[in-house]
Chain A
Amino acid sequence: MKQYEVKNVPRYFEPHVNDCFANAYATVLSYMGNNPNFILTDYLNFMYDEQTEHIGINFFFRATPTVEFSEEELNSSLELAYLPATSMFNKTSPIDEVTDKDKVQINMYIHEDQDIAFTRLKERIDENKPVIVAVDLFYMHFHRAYQREHGLHAIIVTGYDEEKRTLKIIDKYKLSSSDFDGEISMDEMSQSRLSECPLNNPMVGEYKREIRNLWMEIDIDPDFKMNVERIYSIILESCKRMKGQREVLGHECGLNRMEAFRKDLLLKKESFMDRKLDERETYLFKTYYNSAFKSISRSRMRFKVFLEESNLAEKEDLGEVLEQLENALKRWDICANLSLKLGIKKSIKLVDDIVRQLSSIIDIEGEIINKLTDISLTRDLVTVSKNIKDQEM
Protein backbone atom coordinates (compact mmCIF):
# COMPACT_ATOMS: atom_id res chain seq x y z
CA MET A 1 0.00 0.00 0.00
CA LYS A 2 1.42 3.29 -1.03
CA GLN A 3 0.93 6.96 -0.37
CA TYR A 4 2.42 10.09 -1.87
CA GLU A 5 1.78 13.82 -1.91
CA VAL A 6 3.13 16.57 -4.15
CA LYS A 7 4.30 19.30 -1.79
CA ASN A 8 4.19 23.09 -2.14
CA VAL A 9 1.36 23.32 -4.65
CA PRO A 10 0.11 26.94 -4.39
CA ARG A 11 -3.47 27.60 -3.30
CA TYR A 12 -4.06 29.76 -6.35
CA PHE A 13 -7.04 31.99 -6.95
CA GLU A 14 -7.36 35.28 -8.81
CA PRO A 15 -10.72 36.95 -9.57
CA HIS A 16 -9.74 37.48 -13.21
CA VAL A 17 -9.35 33.80 -14.09
CA ASN A 18 -11.60 32.56 -16.86
CA ASP A 19 -13.26 29.62 -15.09
CA CYS A 20 -12.56 26.69 -12.74
CA PHE A 21 -10.48 24.92 -15.43
CA ALA A 22 -8.31 28.00 -15.94
CA ASN A 23 -7.92 28.36 -12.16
CA ALA A 24 -6.73 24.76 -11.95
CA TYR A 25 -4.35 25.26 -14.90
CA ALA A 26 -3.04 28.42 -13.21
CA THR A 27 -2.41 26.48 -9.99
CA VAL A 28 -0.31 23.87 -11.77
CA LEU A 29 1.48 26.46 -13.94
CA SER A 30 2.42 28.46 -10.82
CA TYR A 31 3.65 25.27 -9.19
CA MET A 32 5.81 24.67 -12.28
CA GLY A 33 7.30 28.15 -11.93
CA ASN A 34 5.43 29.89 -14.75
CA ASN A 35 3.31 33.03 -14.69
CA PRO A 36 -0.31 32.12 -15.51
CA ASN A 37 -1.08 35.79 -16.19
CA PHE A 38 0.91 35.43 -19.42
CA ILE A 39 0.23 31.84 -20.40
CA LEU A 40 -3.51 31.94 -19.80
CA THR A 41 -4.08 35.37 -21.37
CA ASP A 42 -6.64 34.99 -24.11
CA TYR A 43 -6.99 37.40 -27.02
CA LEU A 44 -9.22 40.41 -26.57
CA ASN A 45 -12.29 39.62 -28.67
CA PHE A 46 -16.08 39.37 -28.93
CA MET A 47 -18.25 36.89 -30.83
CA TYR A 48 -21.97 36.87 -31.59
CA ASP A 49 -24.12 34.46 -33.57
CA GLU A 50 -27.58 35.73 -34.55
CA GLN A 51 -28.93 32.24 -35.22
CA THR A 52 -28.25 30.80 -31.77
CA GLU A 53 -28.13 34.13 -29.86
CA HIS A 54 -24.87 32.93 -28.33
CA ILE A 55 -22.11 35.36 -27.48
CA GLY A 56 -18.50 34.65 -26.56
CA ILE A 57 -14.92 35.85 -26.48
CA ASN A 58 -12.81 33.44 -28.57
CA PHE A 59 -15.45 30.69 -28.60
CA PHE A 60 -19.16 30.78 -27.91
CA PHE A 61 -20.50 30.25 -24.41
CA ARG A 62 -22.92 27.38 -24.92
CA ALA A 63 -24.23 24.26 -23.29
CA THR A 64 -22.47 21.21 -24.66
CA PRO A 65 -23.32 17.54 -24.13
CA THR A 66 -19.74 16.29 -24.21
CA VAL A 67 -16.30 16.69 -22.65
CA GLU A 68 -14.62 15.91 -25.98
CA PHE A 69 -13.36 18.84 -28.03
CA SER A 70 -11.51 19.11 -31.33
CA GLU A 71 -8.05 20.62 -31.66
CA GLU A 72 -9.56 23.65 -33.42
CA GLU A 73 -12.10 24.23 -30.64
CA LEU A 74 -9.45 24.00 -27.94
CA ASN A 75 -6.96 26.35 -29.58
CA SER A 76 -8.93 29.47 -30.42
CA SER A 77 -7.97 31.54 -27.37
CA LEU A 78 -4.41 31.12 -26.15
CA GLU A 79 -1.17 32.17 -27.86
CA LEU A 80 1.09 30.37 -25.42
CA ALA A 81 -0.64 27.05 -24.85
CA TYR A 82 -1.39 24.09 -27.09
CA LEU A 83 -4.22 21.67 -26.36
CA PRO A 84 -4.43 18.55 -28.52
CA ALA A 85 -7.94 17.23 -29.17
CA THR A 86 -9.43 15.38 -26.19
CA SER A 87 -8.35 11.77 -26.58
CA MET A 88 -8.87 8.34 -25.08
CA PHE A 89 -5.85 7.73 -22.82
CA ASN A 90 -3.52 5.12 -24.28
CA LYS A 91 -0.42 4.20 -22.34
CA THR A 92 1.32 2.94 -25.47
CA SER A 93 1.05 6.21 -27.40
CA PRO A 94 3.61 8.96 -26.77
CA ILE A 95 2.66 10.74 -23.57
CA ASP A 96 4.49 13.41 -21.57
CA GLU A 97 5.80 14.58 -24.95
CA VAL A 98 5.52 18.28 -25.78
CA THR A 99 4.48 18.74 -29.43
CA ASP A 100 5.37 22.42 -29.71
CA LYS A 101 8.30 23.39 -27.50
CA ASP A 102 7.31 27.06 -27.65
CA LYS A 103 3.99 26.34 -25.95
CA VAL A 104 2.71 24.92 -22.72
CA GLN A 105 0.98 21.65 -23.53
CA ILE A 106 -2.31 20.75 -21.87
CA ASN A 107 -3.46 17.21 -22.67
CA MET A 108 -7.10 16.32 -22.01
CA TYR A 109 -7.62 12.61 -21.53
CA ILE A 110 -10.69 10.45 -20.97
CA HIS A 111 -11.04 6.76 -20.19
CA GLU A 112 -14.09 4.71 -19.22
CA ASP A 113 -12.00 2.38 -17.04
CA GLN A 114 -11.70 3.83 -13.55
CA ASP A 115 -8.63 1.71 -12.70
CA ILE A 116 -6.69 2.96 -15.70
CA ALA A 117 -7.62 6.56 -14.88
CA PHE A 118 -6.56 6.13 -11.23
CA THR A 119 -3.32 4.33 -12.13
CA ARG A 120 -2.38 7.20 -14.42
CA LEU A 121 -3.28 9.74 -11.74
CA LYS A 122 -0.95 8.01 -9.27
CA GLU A 123 1.85 7.80 -11.85
CA ARG A 124 1.76 11.54 -12.39
CA ILE A 125 1.64 12.30 -8.67
CA ASP A 126 4.60 9.97 -8.09
CA GLU A 127 6.47 12.18 -10.60
CA ASN A 128 5.57 15.26 -8.51
CA LYS A 129 3.04 16.44 -11.09
CA PRO A 130 -0.35 17.55 -9.72
CA VAL A 131 -3.26 16.34 -11.87
CA ILE A 132 -6.32 18.36 -12.85
CA VAL A 133 -9.45 16.24 -12.64
CA ALA A 134 -13.02 16.93 -13.79
CA VAL A 135 -15.76 16.14 -11.27
CA ASP A 136 -19.52 16.50 -10.88
CA LEU A 137 -20.14 18.91 -7.97
CA PHE A 138 -23.28 16.96 -7.07
CA TYR A 139 -21.00 14.37 -5.42
CA MET A 140 -18.47 16.73 -3.79
CA HIS A 141 -19.41 16.85 -0.11
CA PHE A 142 -17.62 20.16 0.55
CA HIS A 143 -19.50 22.16 -2.06
CA ARG A 144 -22.84 23.93 -1.70
CA ALA A 145 -24.03 22.10 -4.84
CA TYR A 146 -23.60 18.73 -3.03
CA GLN A 147 -26.69 16.57 -3.58
CA ARG A 148 -28.47 19.61 -5.04
CA GLU A 149 -27.09 20.55 -8.45
CA HIS A 150 -25.06 18.77 -11.10
CA GLY A 151 -22.20 20.63 -12.76
CA LEU A 152 -18.84 19.95 -14.35
CA HIS A 153 -16.00 21.34 -12.26
CA ALA A 154 -12.18 21.14 -12.24
CA ILE A 155 -10.12 20.42 -9.12
CA ILE A 156 -6.47 19.56 -8.49
CA VAL A 157 -5.35 16.23 -7.04
CA THR A 158 -2.04 16.52 -5.21
CA GLY A 159 -1.77 13.21 -3.34
CA TYR A 160 -3.15 9.77 -2.60
CA ASP A 161 -3.16 7.21 0.21
CA GLU A 162 -4.00 3.67 -0.89
CA GLU A 163 -4.39 2.33 2.64
CA LYS A 164 -6.83 5.04 3.76
CA ARG A 165 -8.37 5.08 0.25
CA THR A 166 -8.22 8.88 0.14
CA LEU A 167 -7.02 11.61 -2.19
CA LYS A 168 -5.65 15.04 -1.35
CA ILE A 169 -7.30 17.74 -3.38
CA ILE A 170 -7.31 21.51 -3.76
CA ASP A 171 -10.35 23.45 -4.97
CA LYS A 172 -9.95 27.19 -4.58
CA TYR A 173 -12.19 28.50 -7.39
CA LYS A 174 -13.97 30.99 -5.17
CA LEU A 175 -16.10 32.40 -8.00
CA SER A 176 -18.23 29.28 -7.71
CA SER A 177 -18.02 29.21 -3.89
CA SER A 178 -15.27 26.60 -3.81
CA ASP A 179 -12.76 26.78 -1.00
CA PHE A 180 -11.56 23.32 -0.09
CA ASP A 181 -8.14 22.00 0.72
CA GLY A 182 -8.10 18.51 2.19
CA GLU A 183 -8.85 14.83 1.79
CA ILE A 184 -11.77 13.12 0.11
CA SER A 185 -12.46 9.42 -0.22
CA MET A 186 -11.59 7.60 -3.43
CA ASP A 187 -15.21 6.37 -3.56
CA GLU A 188 -16.52 9.94 -3.55
CA MET A 189 -14.09 10.82 -6.30
CA SER A 190 -14.97 7.73 -8.37
CA GLN A 191 -18.67 8.49 -8.28
CA SER A 192 -17.99 12.06 -9.22
CA ARG A 193 -15.65 11.24 -12.11
CA LEU A 194 -18.03 8.75 -13.68
CA SER A 195 -21.16 10.87 -13.33
CA GLU A 196 -23.47 11.29 -16.31
CA CYS A 197 -23.93 14.86 -15.09
CA PRO A 198 -27.58 15.39 -16.11
CA LEU A 199 -28.28 19.07 -16.86
CA ASN A 200 -31.22 21.13 -17.97
CA ASN A 201 -31.74 24.66 -19.17
CA PRO A 202 -34.56 26.38 -21.10
CA MET A 203 -32.29 27.19 -24.07
CA VAL A 204 -31.48 23.56 -24.92
CA GLY A 205 -33.71 21.42 -22.67
CA GLU A 206 -32.45 18.33 -20.85
CA TYR A 207 -29.05 16.92 -21.71
CA LYS A 208 -26.24 14.87 -20.16
CA ARG A 209 -22.57 15.64 -19.98
CA GLU A 210 -20.83 12.39 -19.12
CA ILE A 211 -17.53 13.14 -17.40
CA ARG A 212 -15.81 9.88 -18.40
CA ASN A 213 -12.95 10.33 -15.90
CA LEU A 214 -11.73 13.41 -17.79
CA TRP A 215 -8.34 14.68 -16.57
CA MET A 216 -5.75 17.17 -17.70
CA GLU A 217 -1.95 16.88 -17.70
CA ILE A 218 0.31 19.90 -18.17
CA ASP A 219 3.83 19.58 -19.57
CA ILE A 220 6.34 22.26 -20.47
CA ASP A 221 9.59 21.96 -22.41
CA PRO A 222 12.56 23.02 -20.24
CA ASP A 223 13.52 25.59 -22.91
CA PHE A 224 10.09 27.24 -22.94
CA LYS A 225 10.54 30.99 -22.59
CA MET A 226 8.33 34.01 -22.37
CA ASN A 227 9.67 37.01 -24.27
CA VAL A 228 8.55 40.41 -25.45
CA GLU A 229 7.86 39.23 -29.03
CA ARG A 230 5.26 36.82 -27.73
CA ILE A 231 3.59 39.59 -25.76
CA TYR A 232 3.32 41.65 -28.96
CA SER A 233 1.88 38.64 -30.77
CA ILE A 234 -0.99 38.50 -28.27
CA ILE A 235 -1.60 42.24 -28.64
CA LEU A 236 -1.47 42.16 -32.46
CA GLU A 237 -3.75 39.15 -32.78
CA SER A 238 -6.22 40.81 -30.38
CA CYS A 239 -6.25 43.93 -32.57
CA LYS A 240 -6.89 41.85 -35.70
CA ARG A 241 -9.72 39.94 -34.08
CA MET A 242 -11.39 43.06 -32.68
CA LYS A 243 -11.10 44.81 -36.07
CA GLY A 244 -12.84 41.86 -37.72
CA GLN A 245 -9.74 40.87 -39.70
CA ARG A 246 -9.82 37.31 -38.41
CA GLU A 247 -12.48 34.60 -38.40
CA VAL A 248 -12.56 32.44 -35.29
CA LEU A 249 -14.04 28.93 -35.52
CA GLY A 250 -15.55 30.00 -38.85
CA HIS A 251 -17.23 33.09 -37.40
CA GLU A 252 -16.64 36.80 -37.85
CA CYS A 253 -15.75 38.55 -34.65
CA GLY A 254 -14.82 41.86 -33.07
CA LEU A 255 -16.38 45.28 -32.75
CA ASN A 256 -18.74 44.86 -35.71
CA ARG A 257 -20.25 41.80 -34.05
CA MET A 258 -20.70 43.80 -30.87
CA GLU A 259 -22.61 46.40 -32.87
CA ALA A 260 -24.73 43.66 -34.48
CA PHE A 261 -25.50 42.27 -31.01
CA ARG A 262 -26.45 45.74 -29.75
CA LYS A 263 -28.82 46.29 -32.68
CA ASP A 264 -30.41 42.86 -32.23
CA LEU A 265 -31.07 43.61 -28.57
CA LEU A 266 -33.05 46.67 -29.65
CA LEU A 267 -35.03 44.53 -32.10
CA LYS A 268 -35.68 42.05 -29.30
CA LYS A 269 -37.00 44.86 -27.15
CA GLU A 270 -39.51 45.74 -29.88
CA SER A 271 -40.71 42.15 -29.98
CA PHE A 272 -41.16 42.12 -26.17
CA MET A 273 -43.37 45.23 -26.16
CA ASP A 274 -46.79 43.59 -26.29
CA ARG A 275 -46.15 40.44 -24.29
CA LYS A 276 -44.38 38.90 -21.32
CA LEU A 277 -40.95 37.27 -21.58
CA ASP A 278 -41.27 33.50 -21.92
CA GLU A 279 -39.19 31.03 -19.90
CA ARG A 280 -36.44 30.81 -22.52
CA GLU A 281 -36.13 34.58 -22.88
CA THR A 282 -36.08 35.04 -19.11
CA TYR A 283 -33.29 32.46 -18.85
CA LEU A 284 -31.43 34.16 -21.70
CA PHE A 285 -31.16 37.40 -19.73
CA LYS A 286 -31.21 36.21 -16.12
CA THR A 287 -28.69 33.41 -16.51
CA TYR A 288 -27.05 33.19 -19.94
CA TYR A 289 -26.26 36.86 -20.67
CA ASN A 290 -25.60 37.56 -16.99
CA SER A 291 -22.94 34.86 -16.86
CA ALA A 292 -21.55 35.64 -20.34
CA PHE A 293 -21.21 39.39 -19.61
CA LYS A 294 -19.47 38.56 -16.32
CA SER A 295 -17.04 36.33 -18.22
CA ILE A 296 -16.33 39.07 -20.76
CA SER A 297 -15.74 41.54 -17.91
CA ARG A 298 -13.22 39.12 -16.40
CA SER A 299 -11.51 38.71 -19.80
CA ARG A 300 -10.97 42.48 -19.96
CA MET A 301 -9.56 42.30 -16.39
CA ARG A 302 -7.20 39.47 -17.49
CA PHE A 303 -5.99 41.51 -20.44
CA LYS A 304 -5.38 44.49 -18.17
CA VAL A 305 -3.35 42.37 -15.72
CA PHE A 306 -1.42 40.89 -18.66
CA LEU A 307 -0.51 44.38 -19.96
CA GLU A 308 0.37 45.62 -16.47
CA GLU A 309 2.74 42.70 -15.92
CA SER A 310 4.19 42.80 -19.44
CA ASN A 311 6.63 45.56 -18.55
CA LEU A 312 6.70 46.82 -22.13
CA ALA A 313 8.92 49.71 -23.17
CA GLU A 314 5.79 51.67 -24.14
CA LYS A 315 4.60 51.66 -20.54
CA GLU A 316 3.66 55.34 -20.59
CA ASP A 317 1.54 54.92 -23.71
CA LEU A 318 -0.22 52.01 -22.07
CA GLY A 319 -1.45 54.09 -19.12
CA GLU A 320 -4.51 55.31 -21.00
CA VAL A 321 -5.22 51.82 -22.38
CA LEU A 322 -5.23 50.41 -18.86
CA GLU A 323 -7.69 53.09 -17.72
CA GLN A 324 -9.95 52.35 -20.67
CA LEU A 325 -9.80 48.62 -19.99
CA GLU A 326 -10.86 49.31 -16.40
CA ASN A 327 -13.74 51.40 -17.70
CA ALA A 328 -14.76 48.69 -20.19
CA LEU A 329 -14.66 45.85 -17.67
CA LYS A 330 -16.84 47.84 -15.24
CA ARG A 331 -19.38 48.46 -17.99
CA TRP A 332 -19.45 44.76 -18.94
CA ASP A 333 -20.11 44.03 -15.28
CA ILE A 334 -22.93 46.57 -15.22
CA CYS A 335 -24.40 44.87 -18.33
CA ALA A 336 -24.29 41.57 -16.43
CA ASN A 337 -26.14 43.03 -13.44
CA LEU A 338 -28.68 44.82 -15.64
CA SER A 339 -29.31 41.60 -17.53
CA LEU A 340 -29.92 39.72 -14.28
CA LYS A 341 -32.20 42.51 -13.06
CA LEU A 342 -34.11 42.38 -16.36
CA GLY A 343 -34.60 38.64 -15.92
CA ILE A 344 -35.87 39.09 -12.35
CA LYS A 345 -38.12 42.12 -12.90
CA LYS A 346 -39.03 41.29 -16.50
CA SER A 347 -38.72 45.02 -17.07
CA ILE A 348 -38.17 45.50 -20.80
CA LYS A 349 -36.97 49.08 -20.45
CA LEU A 350 -33.74 47.72 -18.94
CA VAL A 351 -32.78 46.61 -22.48
CA ASP A 352 -32.21 50.31 -23.21
CA ASP A 353 -29.76 50.53 -20.32
CA ILE A 354 -27.83 47.47 -21.56
CA VAL A 355 -27.77 48.87 -25.10
CA ARG A 356 -26.51 52.23 -23.81
CA GLN A 357 -23.69 50.50 -21.93
CA LEU A 358 -22.83 48.45 -25.04
CA SER A 359 -22.61 51.63 -27.15
CA SER A 360 -20.09 53.07 -24.69
CA ILE A 361 -18.16 49.79 -24.63
CA ILE A 362 -17.94 49.74 -28.45
CA ASP A 363 -16.44 53.27 -28.39
CA ILE A 364 -14.07 52.52 -25.52
CA GLU A 365 -12.84 49.18 -26.87
CA GLY A 366 -12.48 50.74 -30.35
CA GLU A 367 -10.14 53.32 -28.85
CA ILE A 368 -8.24 50.62 -26.95
CA ILE A 369 -7.67 48.72 -30.19
CA ASN A 370 -6.57 51.86 -32.07
CA LYS A 371 -4.03 52.67 -29.36
CA LEU A 372 -2.74 49.09 -29.15
CA THR A 373 -2.42 49.02 -32.96
CA ASP A 374 -0.38 52.25 -32.87
CA ILE A 375 1.86 50.81 -30.15
CA SER A 376 2.39 47.61 -32.16
CA LEU A 377 3.07 49.50 -35.42
CA THR A 378 5.58 51.79 -33.69
CA ARG A 379 7.25 48.70 -32.29
CA ASP A 380 7.37 47.14 -35.78
CA LEU A 381 8.93 50.28 -37.28
CA VAL A 382 11.55 50.39 -34.54
CA THR A 383 12.34 46.69 -35.12
CA VAL A 384 12.54 47.13 -38.93
CA SER A 385 14.81 50.20 -38.69
CA LYS A 386 16.99 48.40 -36.13
CA ASN A 387 17.28 45.40 -38.49
CA ILE A 388 18.23 47.69 -41.40
CA LYS A 389 20.87 49.40 -39.27
CA ASP A 390 22.23 46.03 -38.14
CA GLN A 391 22.49 44.92 -41.80
CA GLU A 392 24.28 48.15 -42.81
CA MET A 393 26.89 47.76 -40.09
Chain B
Amino acid sequence: MINVKQEIINSIKEITVGHDIQEFIEEVLLSDLGIDSIKYVELLVSIEEKCDVEFDESDLGADALKSLGDLINLVNKTLEQKVS
Protein backbone atom coordinates (compact mmCIF):
# COMPACT_ATOMS: atom_id res chain seq x y z
CA MET B 1 0.00 0.00 0.00
CA ILE B 2 1.46 3.35 -1.01
CA ASN B 3 1.75 6.01 1.68
CA VAL B 4 0.71 8.89 -0.57
CA LYS B 5 1.48 11.64 1.93
CA GLN B 6 4.99 10.32 2.53
CA GLU B 7 5.64 9.95 -1.20
CA ILE B 8 4.53 13.55 -1.76
CA ILE B 9 6.88 14.71 1.02
CA ASN B 10 9.72 12.68 -0.54
CA SER B 11 9.05 14.21 -3.95
CA ILE B 12 8.95 17.74 -2.53
CA LYS B 13 12.26 17.15 -0.75
CA GLU B 14 13.78 15.98 -4.03
CA ILE B 15 12.79 18.96 -6.12
CA THR B 16 13.04 21.83 -3.64
CA VAL B 17 16.16 23.18 -2.04
CA GLY B 18 16.10 24.81 1.38
CA HIS B 19 12.56 23.69 2.28
CA ASP B 20 12.94 20.90 4.82
CA ILE B 21 9.37 19.64 4.92
CA GLN B 22 8.90 17.17 7.81
CA GLU B 23 5.17 16.66 8.14
CA PHE B 24 2.19 16.88 5.87
CA ILE B 25 0.11 19.95 6.72
CA GLU B 26 -2.72 20.30 4.23
CA GLU B 27 -2.95 24.09 4.55
CA VAL B 28 0.69 24.67 3.53
CA LEU B 29 0.83 26.49 0.19
CA LEU B 30 2.97 25.02 -2.57
CA SER B 31 4.29 28.50 -3.35
CA ASP B 32 5.58 28.76 0.23
CA LEU B 33 7.65 25.64 -0.46
CA GLY B 34 9.29 27.35 -3.43
CA ILE B 35 7.22 25.43 -5.98
CA ASP B 36 6.54 27.49 -9.11
CA SER B 37 4.78 26.29 -12.27
CA ILE B 38 7.93 24.57 -13.59
CA LYS B 39 8.76 22.85 -10.30
CA TYR B 40 5.11 21.83 -10.07
CA VAL B 41 5.37 19.75 -13.25
CA GLU B 42 8.64 18.27 -11.93
CA LEU B 43 6.83 17.41 -8.70
CA LEU B 44 3.98 15.68 -10.55
CA VAL B 45 6.45 13.68 -12.66
CA SER B 46 8.20 12.55 -9.48
CA ILE B 47 4.87 11.59 -7.84
CA GLU B 48 3.86 9.70 -11.00
CA GLU B 49 7.00 7.57 -10.71
CA LYS B 50 6.67 6.96 -6.98
CA CYS B 51 2.93 6.23 -6.95
CA ASP B 52 2.74 4.53 -10.36
CA VAL B 53 0.04 6.84 -11.69
CA GLU B 54 -0.30 9.13 -14.68
CA PHE B 55 -1.90 12.54 -14.26
CA ASP B 56 -4.28 13.84 -16.88
CA GLU B 57 -2.64 16.49 -19.09
CA SER B 58 -5.19 19.06 -17.94
CA ASP B 59 -3.97 18.56 -14.34
CA LEU B 60 -0.41 19.65 -15.13
CA GLY B 61 -1.13 23.37 -14.68
CA ALA B 62 -0.39 24.72 -11.21
CA ASP B 63 -3.17 27.34 -11.30
CA ALA B 64 -5.91 25.30 -9.67
CA LEU B 65 -3.70 23.79 -6.99
CA LYS B 66 -2.68 26.00 -4.16
CA SER B 67 -1.97 23.77 -1.16
CA LEU B 68 -0.70 20.35 -0.11
CA GLY B 69 -4.34 19.47 0.59
CA ASP B 70 -5.27 20.21 -3.05
CA LEU B 71 -2.33 18.10 -4.18
CA ILE B 72 -3.25 15.01 -2.14
CA ASN B 73 -6.84 15.29 -3.39
CA LEU B 74 -5.52 15.25 -6.96
CA VAL B 75 -3.29 12.22 -6.31
CA ASN B 76 -6.11 10.32 -4.59
CA LYS B 77 -8.53 11.18 -7.42
CA THR B 78 -6.02 9.94 -10.01
CA LEU B 79 -5.39 6.74 -8.03
CA GLU B 80 -9.14 6.07 -7.79
CA GLN B 81 -9.55 6.59 -11.53
CA LYS B 82 -6.73 4.12 -12.14
CA VAL B 83 -8.43 1.47 -9.96
CA SER B 84 -11.84 1.99 -11.56
**Is A340 touching B57 in the complex (CB atoms < 8 A)?**
no
Which among B5-13, B37-45, B69-77 touches the partner chain? B37-45
Tell me how far the C-beta of A283 lies from the nearest C-beta in chain B, rounded to whole angstroms: 13
**Bound-state Cα–Cα, A338 to B60, Å:** 8
**Bound-state Cα–Cα, A344 to B38, Å:** 10
**Is B58 touching A334 in the complex (CB atoms < 8 A)?**
yes
**Is A337 touching B36 in the complex (CB atoms < 8 A)?**
no
**Is B42 touching A337 in the complex (CB atoms < 8 A)?**
no
Report if A345 contacts B (CB, 8 A).
yes
**Is A344 touching B61 in the complex (CB atoms < 8 A)?**
no
How many residues from A make CB contacts under 8 Å with B? 14
- Say which residue of B37, B42, B45, B60 sits within 8 Å of A334 (CB atoms): B60
**Is B57 touching A344 in the complex (CB atoms < 8 A)?**
no
List of A residues within 8 angstroms of B41 by Cβ: 337, 340-341, 344
List of A residues within 8 angstroms of B38 by Cβ: 290, 340
List of B residues within 8 angstroms of A294 by Cβ: 37
Tell me how far the C-beta of A338 lies from the nearest C-beta in chain B, rounded to whole angstroms: 6
**Is A345 touching B45 in the complex (CB atoms < 8 A)?**
yes
Tell me how far the C-beta of A137 lies from the nearest C-beta in chain B, rounded to whole angstroms: 15
Tell me how far the C-beta of A329 lies from the nearest C-beta in chain B, rounded to whole angstroms: 11
Tell me how far the C-beta of A140 lies from the nearest C-beta in chain B, rounded to whole angstroms: 18
**Bound-state Cα–Cα, A341 to B39, Å:** 11
**Is B36 touching A333 in the complex (CB atoms < 8 A)?**
no
Report if A353 contacts B (CB, 8 A).
yes
List of A residues within 8 angstroms of B58 by Cβ: 330, 334
Report if A200 contacts B (CB, 8 A).
no
Within A347-363, the residues touching B (CB, 8 Å) are 353, 357
**Bound-state Cα–Cα, A294 to B61, Å:** 11
- Whether A337 touches B45, Cβ cut-off 8 Å, given contacts A177-B36, A290-B38, is no
**Is B45 touching A341 in the complex (CB atoms < 8 A)?**
yes
Tell me how far the C-beta of A298 lies from the nearest C-beta in chain B, rounded to whole angstroms: 12
B3-23 near A? 1/0 per residue, CB < 8 Å:
000000000000000000000
List of A residues within 8 angstroms of B37 by Cβ: 294
Residue of chain A at shortest CB distance from B44: A341
Residue of chain B at shortest CB distance from A337: B60
List of A residues within 8 angstroms of B42 by Cβ: 340, 344
With most chain B CB atoms within 10 A of its CB, the pick from A290, A294, A334 is A334
Residue of chain A at shortest CB distance from B48: A345
**Is A344 touching B60 in the complex (CB atoms < 8 A)?**
no
- Say which residue of A290, A338, A345 sits within 8 Å of B57 (CB atoms): A338
**Bound-state Cα–Cα, A338 to B45, Å:** 11
- Whether A344 touches B36, Cβ cut-off 8 Å, given contacts A337-B60, A337-B61, A353-B57, is no
**Is A333 touching B45 in the complex (CB atoms < 8 A)?**
no
Tell me how far the C-beta of B47 lies from the nearest C-beta in chain A, rounded to whole angstroms: 12
**Bound-state Cα–Cα, A166 to B57, Å:** 48
Tell me how far the C-beta of A266 lies from the nearest C-beta in chain B, rounded to whole angstroms: 18
**Bound-state Cα–Cα, A337 to B36, Å:** 12
Tell me how far the C-beta of A99 lies from the nearest C-beta in chain B, rounded to whole angstroms: 39
Residue of chain B at shortest CB distance from A347: B45
B31-59 near A? 1/0 per residue, CB < 8 Å:
00000111001101100000000000110
Residue of chain A at shortest CB distance from B59: A337
Within A323-340, the residues touching B (CB, 8 Å) are 330, 333-334, 337-338, 340
**Bound-state Cα–Cα, A337 to B39, Å:** 11
**Which 5 A-B residue pairings sit nearest by Cβ, starting from the closest?**
A337-B60, A340-B41, A344-B45, A334-B57, A337-B41
Q: Which residues of B contact A (CB under 8 A)?
A: 36-38, 41-42, 44-45, 57-58, 60-61
